[in-house]
Amino acid sequence: MIYLDHAATTKLRADALQAMLPFLGEQFGNPSGLYAVGREAQGAVDSARETVASILGCRASEVVFTSGGTESINTAIRGIALAMQRAGAGGHVITSAIEHHAGLHAVQYLEERGFEVTEVGSDQAGRVDPAEIAAALRPDTVLVSVMLANNEVGTIQPVAEVAAMVRGFTNEQGHRALLHTDAVQAPGWLRIDVEALGVDALSLSAHKFGGPKGTGILYLRKATPFTPLLHGGGQEMQKRAGTENVAGIAGTAAALEAASLGVEERGRRVRALRERLREGILASVPGAVPNGCQVDCLPNNLNVSFPGVESDVLVGRLDAQGIAVSSGSACSNSTWEPSHVLMAMGVHIRQAVGSIRFSLGEETSGEEIDAVLAVLPGEVELARKASTPALSA
């Protein structure tokens, strides 16, 4: 298999597996236990928290382990907004139209409960304009949530610039507004420093950077107003109830540590492969159009539209050739549900429903890229013949 869907999930790193194994066997204790095996488990959780904190540039007490990116995003958005509202700070939230559904649906949840929501757009490269966020800020704004790097087109957002602007607004108004960023796609490709970014909350998902599925990280700045999403025991410093997934936490820390090494060199190598793929597609597939930014974006992400194609058809054809890529839309008969990200960017619906995301990994080779380029033109042509007549009209 040639795997080019690393934005969806990644292979478990060997370092992560080794870190997990003891806690899947003899060291099975509950971290809340006061006896030896419990203390061993708690020690592993504490050590992992210190590792993550050192990589993110924060205090260990500001790191909360969760079940994944979706929980981290929901916990940050709902937990902060509800706490701020209950404190009488207001009920207005700002987000962008290109967020992951975990963020958009969390904000929708708030809207259904009386919050007012402003959704800013993006330009054709998939970049959010800080000036649009500035214009949307109000005296009752309690939270701004903007992702760090887009999962569909790879555009890196100006989060640090947004943070400085929100802080300036806070100082001028004497009213606190907080900033959350979904950084799920960033590890391994960008250095993540919460102080440099200036965020109050940041969400990560372990399986995106070689950690186990079902584990995640939430950075929550000290003294940030917060209402827990889960209630029960007092785990995770009263912020996330439930017995900790010790093996998952150990694997998450080991994977994040490995992903944080050699970021620049990894990025240069993979960016060159992405450009090789991009140039090869544009040279060999008539009508192919790249979507999103081509410069200030993640080095491994390439989104391309193939007009006249239903993307699910092409994904299936490539799968039959042993190539794994993803579709940016869900097409079923005459019902088209194109990517909300591409639509927010102004991509025409006929182009959007034929979009494919190629997301490379650190182990992707030049030989694999050449193999994809060898079969892709023919598969696109066959997919065009198999697509609905409306797409070719």
CATH architecture for residues 263-392: Alpha-Beta Complex (3.90)
For the stretch 267-298, pLDDT in tens is 999 999 999 999 999 999 999 999 998 788 99
Say how many Å lie between the first and final Cα of the chain, rounded: 34
Instruction: Give the model confidence (pLDDT) of 293-318 as tens digits.
Output: 878 899 999 999 999 999 999 999 99
Strand partners, 5: 359
Q: What's the whole-number mean pLDDT along residues 47-67? A: 98
With a CB cutoff of 8 Å and minimum separation 6, the contacts of 51 are 253, 254, 256, 257
What percent of the chain has pLDDT above 70? 96
Distance CA 48, CA 251 (A): 9
Give the C-alpha distances (Å, rounded to integers) separating 348 from 174, 329, 351, 379: 43, 13, 5, 23
Q: Report the pLDDT value the prediction gives residue 293, as an integer from 0 to 100.
A: 81
The sheet that has 301-305: what strands, in order across it? 289-291, 301-305, 355-359, 326-327
Q: Is residue 293 flagged as an active site residue? A: no
Does the pLDDT of residue 108 top 70, yes or no? yes
DSSP assignments along 152-204, one per residue: TT-BBP-HHHHHHHHHHHHHHHT---EEEEE-TT-TTTS---HHHHT-SEEEE
Closest CA to 93 of 166, 159, 3, 196: 166
Task: Give the start-to-end residue ranges of the domains of the chain.
Answer: 14-259, 263-392
Minimum mean pLDDT range among 157-166, 289-298, 321-330: 321-330
pLDDT at 295: 81
Alpha carbons within 13 angstroms on the beta-carbon side of residue 365 total: 5
**Confidence at residue 336, expressed as pLDDT on a 0 to 100 scale:** 59
Query: Which of 58, 293, 297, 331 is flagged as catalytic?
Result: 331
pLDDT bracket for residue 238 (50, 70, 90)? confident
Model confidence at 390, pLDDT cuts 50, 70, 90, reads low
What confidence tier does 333 reach under pLDDT thresholds 50, 70, 90?
very low
Mean pLDDT in residue range 251-262: 98
Span 155-177, average pLDDT = 93
Is residue 273 within 8 Å of 31, Cβ to Cβ? no
User: What average pLDDT does this structure show over 14-42?
Assistant: 94
> In 10 A of CB 375, how many CB atoms?
15
**What is the arithmetic mean of pLDDT over 63-70?**
98
The sign of the CA dihedral 198, 201, 206, 207 is negative
Tell me whether domains 14-259 and 263-392 share a fold: no
Class of domain 14-259: alpha beta
